[in-house]
Amino acid sequence: MLAPQCPITENWSDPDLNLPSKALELSLQILALVQNEFSIDPDRVYVVGQSMGGLGVYSLLQLYPEKWAGAVILTAYDNFTNAMAISRVPLWVFQGDADQTVPVTMVRDMMKQLKKANANLRYTEYHKADHDIWDRAFAEPELIPWLASLKRAASSTSQLGTSATPPAK
């Protein structure tokens, strides 16, 4: 697992332009170095982010969809510049319906946009939950098996047209 951290004075991405920050570009360079150094299956590289990290994931999915086997995003928003690129990667989004930082109405609208783009999308919305849902999301019993079932080669063929939405918890 590689878990880069964004410097406190920066952002992973700009939500309006989806331009990666220098920190996000450096993270991609680190990933490339790690992939060169260690035996990592390139078809099983996943990207996960929460809050501002989720913003960075949306940027990476729009700019480099071919790199990822799957993505998990928690409590994050974006003004998509390329929803079709995101639709190429299986995605599971988690959101609290009482989030004061990222309004649930904004995320619901984003999910509608992704569904229109035929995204392979799972969406879980937690009732009466604010911004700090990561403990619940990462404890979802289906999350790890779902991620482990994804391979990059499969995501570009058979999984593209499907959409699954588990019941909100």
**Residue 33 placed within a domain:** no
pLDDT tens string 96-123: 999 999 999 999 999 999 999 999 999 9
The domain tally of the chain equals: 1
DSSP state of 65: G
Q: Which residue range is the domain that position 140 belongs to?
A: 43-155
Q: What CATH number corresponds to the domain at position 56?
A: 3.40.50.1820
**Residue 161 placed within a domain:** no
For CA atoms 116, 118, 119, 123, give the dihedral sign. Answer: positive
Distance in angstroms (rounded) separating the CA atoms of residues 71 and 82: 16
**Residue 3 placed within a domain:** no
**Residue 1 placed within a domain:** no
**Residue 8 placed within a domain:** no
pLDDT tens string 9-24: 888 887 777 788 899 9
Model pTM score:
0.86
